[in-house]
Each structure stands twice: as structure tokens, then as C-alpha cells.
Amino acid sequence: MSNTVYGHGDGFLTQGERRLFPIGFYELPAEDDGLRDMAVAGVNLIRCGNADALDRVHAHGMMGWVPLSLQAGATPEFQEQIRTLAEHPALAVWEGPDEVVWNFTAYSGLWRQDRIGVFPNKGEWWMQTPLAIQYSEERAAEIMPNMREAVEFIRSADRYNRQVWINEARDSDLKFVRQYIDFVDITGCDDYPIRADGRPAIRVAAATDRWQQVGKGRPVWMVLQAFSWNDLDDEHGDIAAFPTFDESRLMAYVCITHGARGILYWGSNYLKSQGHEGFRKSLYALTSELAALQPFLTAPVERHVAVQVTDDGRTDIPEPASIRGVSITARRTGREWLIILVNEDPHSHMGVEVIGLDALNGTEFVELYGDEKTTVSEGSFVTRMRPYEVKLFATHRKWETNQREGREFAE
């Protein structure tokens, strides 16, 4: 079966006859044993810089993406790069310059004197000073036409019509992103909320929502945290703060319930703090879990299925009583069903009702990786959820992964 991949414009990947939800890593392990571990854990997409790297991931049954300097335009060197790589069977997607808008607007290197030193003050962009506005407009006027030219060349040279993706920072500027959004296929952002001084994992839900809006409905890929901030450089202190397994799981599934079409991880190549081996195992336990659900993750959302939370009248919950509520996505493959629920609040919900299941009356659902069982009655079932809890209900336990090592990781 051919491994050639094709772009369909919906954010998913195609490998042979299989449609795949992207589960990716920016890290390309130096040793093949590391690549094998990723493949076994269900990772299907790796950042590759050249044909040799694509050969390596291909040998392990995975695919690769290639970062491109679109901002330089369709130079002769760029055209040669595209022609050289376009026929490679492991190439899945083209990536534009990372955080391209952030880098000429709010990037810290623009004001730090030990770096570029364009701005005299920290926060110059957020103050919207004349200098910041002038600089950004000048850079955009140079970059945007070049990006369009480069993408147009890709469209003409890539007979497989692979998708073009650009990752941005969580808060990258709407006005400038919209200047290129109409000629790319996939948008999204990176968001790394776990730090030693705070762990607001749930904020990736709002980030996903924002990029659905910024992208005007384009597929969104979310890049999540695979590192501890102190591993990056000295300015982030010396206290390790890896996401726990439950936090990583929460971040992945809340992105999915909010519509993300791909989950990728950045920073694992920087891992060095004590405990990083256990953290890596926890990530692979999660990617294995996601991979076991592949047929559901590429299936259409069953939009008639919804969730409603019935207030239990408790008086011990600080105001506001509810911050976000419970999010849901329901998917079906053949006669099998999966329902993902995420409690996005820091308190329990004791009356969480899944409705719209009238065609499934009498059907039993089991909680994957849990003990709960429930049967649909009168088109619904009820469960309870702890703070920031994720629950997966499926019609069969075969959708669980056997790779369990790492699920208890809690630093």
C-alpha cells in the first residue's frame, strides 16, 4: 500500500487508505530507537528538515512536515527545495515560518538589548507606540507578498496538493494574520501554560476558540507543552514544572472538544530536569491513547448530541459558580460511538447529562480507563465530573490502549 500523502484542506492527513488525525512532535530523535518509541506510541508526524530526515521517519511508518522560509519568497533556492522534496512519500504537510507575525510584533527579542534591540521598551507592541506600529507595518509590507508568492509556487509544483500550515503564538495579532490566512490551509497556535508559578492548563480551550475565529473556520492545529520552562534557559529559574499526565490529557482533549484537528508537541528535545524520563513516558501514554481513537478523531462531529449541566444548588462553590461548564464532542465510526466530556471548571459538576442519543436507547457505554458504565435511556445518560476531569465514554473497551506506563505521572 502506498504511503503517499495528500492534502484535502480539512487538516487531517492521508497515509495510503487511512485518514489520520495528526499527532506530532517537533523533536526528531537523533537515534532510531527514539523514533521507534514515538512510532510505537502512536505519533504519526515529525518535523523534518530535509530528505534524509523524511527517509528516517518513513522507515518507521511515520510522516514528516518540512518548515519553509516563505517570508523570503520563491527564491531559486526555495524552488529547488520544493522540487526536491515534493515527491517524497513521507512528506505530509508544508509549514510556513513559525510565529511569523509574533516575530515582528510582540517578540521579546525586539526590545531586549542583548538581542535585536529594535524597541527601547518592554511591551512596546502592546503599548501600540508609533515606533511599534511603523516597524510592524513595514515588515508586513515586505513579508506578506513574499509569503503569497512562495505559497503560489508550492501550489504549482506540488502535484499532491499538500496543505500549508502556519503556527502562530497564542496572542499573535489578528490584523496581520488575516493578511496571509486566505492563502494557507491550516492555522493554530502554541500554548504552554504550565509554569512553576501557575498551572492554568484549561486556558488552551480559549486559545483553540480564538484560532477558530482568527482562521475564519480553517482547521486548527494546537501545539502543546512537552517541556519544563526551566529547561529552556536560565531566565526561567531552576524549578522544574512538567505537565502532569492529567494536565496533558486535559489540554489535549479540551482542544479536541473545541474543534482542534491536530495535536502537536514542542520542546521535548530540551528535556533535562530531574523527572523528565517519567514525563516523556506520560506523553507517550497520552499519544498512544489518542492514536487508539484515530477512527473517531477523523469522523464527523455528531452535532445533535449535546451536554447540559443541571445546577445542584450547592452553596459552597465560590462565585462565579461556573466559569466555562462542560464541553463535549460525540463521534461515530460504523456502529461504534465515542463521547468525550471535559469539565472546564475548578469545581465538580454533579449533574452532567448527555442528550440527543434517542437512536441509542438501551445502548451501554463504558468509561475508557475508568470503571463507570451507563445505559442510554430516553435519549440521554447522566454522569458526575470532578474539577477539570476528562471522561471518555465508548461503546466498547477495545478503544483503550495497552500502553499504560506513564499515566500516573504527577511530577
- CA 316 → CA 178, 313, 319, 388, distances in Å? 45, 9, 9, 18
Sign of the dihedral defined by the CA atoms of residues 97, 103, 108, 109, in that order: positive
DSSP-assigned beta bridge partners for residue 262: 221
3-state helix, strand, coil in the chain (%, to 5): 35, 20, 45
- Rounded to whole angstroms, the Cα distance separating 51 from 383 reads 50
Sequential pLDDT tens for the chain (411 residues): 344 544 458 999 989 889 999 999 999 999 999 999 999 999 999 999 999 999 999 999 999 999 999 999 999 999 999 999 999 999 999 999 999 999 999 999 999 777 778 999 999 999 999 999 999 999 999 999 999 999 999 999 999 999 999 999 999 999 999 999 999 999 999 999 999 999 999 999 999 999 999 999 999 999 999 999 999 976 767 789 999 999 999 999 999 999 999 999 999 999 999 999 999 999 999 999 999 999 999 999 999 999 999 977 777 776 665 578 999 999 999 999 999 999 999 999 999 999 999 999 999 999 999 999 999 999 999 999 999 999 999 999 999 999 999 999 997
- Rounded to whole angstroms, the Cα distance separating 303 from 166 reads 28
> Does residue 221 come out as left (phi exceeding 0), alpha (psi in the -120 to 50 range) or beta?
beta
Cell of 167: 503556527
- Rounded to whole angstroms, the Cα distance separating 125 from 106 reads 5
